[in-house]
A and B are shown apart, each in its own frame.
Chain A
Amino acid sequence: DVKVTQSSRYLVKRTGEKVFLECVQDMDHENMFWYRQDPGLGLRLIYFSYDVKMKEKGDIPEGYSVSREKKERFSLILESASTNQTSMYLCATSSPPGGPVEQYFGPGTRLTVT
């Protein structure tokens, strides 16, 4: 079974703090994704990565950056957290590239910025 873990289930940060959300997968998947989930808006793609050290912007990249130094780890960074970044953050992975493959999701991190 694919296992996708996220560093925290719940996180509370203050406005202006730098926040790191970590995602680790154990199945050697090439693709990794970060989404945020908000009521009424569904899942919105922030960033994704097809390989180590590469990244692609999703639909809502503003205020976020990512890092993928190793294949199994994909980090989401909030450079200066703001209250409008309070949300549920979901990491996902998939393999092989392209084709009819589903994405596997982690349990999510519920971030509150005060």
Chain B
Amino acid sequence: AQSVAQPEDQVNVAEGNPLTVKCTYSVSGNPYLFWYVQYPNRGLQFLLKYITGDNLVKGSYGFEAEFNKSQTSFHLKKPSALVSDSALYFCAVRDRNSGNTPLVFGKGTRLSVIA
């Protein structure tokens, strides 16, 4: 079975400070990993994904994520937070060996960037 955990319901950070939104996953094989962002009353927007290769993945809006196989983690990071980054963030996973199956999503982490 595949699963994703986002251990923090809420993350607060001051504008200009670095931010981290945590994600851990569980799959039987190797994962494909994804991050999405949701602004109020909107659908989810794709930020970035890890397929293979370099453990540091760069995505939209200055976000990046680091894949750590030994810790089964895929934390989302940004060096300097903006107030406009305030949103709901979702991590998702698919096992490479699972064929054409839907992504499995975490419960989401609400990021609040304070001016």
A contact set with B: CB distance below 8 Å: 4, 9, 31, 33, 35, 40-43, 45, 48, 50, 58, 90, 92, 97-100, 102-108, 110
Residue of A nearest to B107 (CB): A42
Determine whether the beta carbon of B108 is less than 8 Å from that of A107.
no
Determine whether the beta carbon of B99 is less than 8 Å from that of A98.
yes
Given contacts A4-B43, A42-B108, A90-B44, contact A103 B90 (CB under 8 A): no
Given contacts A43-B90, A98-B100, contact A90 B106 (CB under 8 A): no
Which 5 pairs, one residue from A and one from B, show the smallest C-beta to C-beta distance? Answer: A42-B107, A105-B43, A97-B100, A98-B100, A100-B51
How many angstroms from the CA of A58 to the CA of B102 in the assembled complex? 9
Q: How many of chain B's residues touch chain A, expressed as a range?
A: 20 to 34
Determine whether the beta carbon of A102 is less than 8 Å from that of B102.
no
B contact set with A: CB distance below 8 Å: 9, 32, 34, 36, 41-46, 49, 51, 90, 94, 96, 99-100, 102-103, 105-108
* From B49, B99, B107, residue with most partner A Cβ within 10 Å: B107
Q: Which residues of A contact B107 (CB under 8 A)?
A: 40-42
How many angstroms from the CA of A102 to the CA of B102 in the assembled complex? 10
Given contacts A40-B107, A42-B90, A43-B90, contact A31 B100 (CB under 8 A): yes
Question: Residue B45 contacts which of A9, A50, A98, A105 (CB distance < 8 angstroms)?
Answer: A105
**What's the nearest-Cβ distance from chain A to residue B11, in Å?**
16
Determine whether the beta carbon of B106 is less than 8 Å from that of A103.
no
**Can you give 25 A-B contacts (C-beta < 8 A)?**
A9-B41, A31-B102, A33-B102, A35-B105, A40-B107, A42-B90, A42-B105, A42-B107, A43-B44, A45-B102, A58-B102, A90-B43, A98-B99, A99-B32, A100-B32, A100-B51, A102-B34, A103-B103, A105-B36, A105-B44, A106-B43, A107-B42, A108-B41, A108-B43, A110-B41
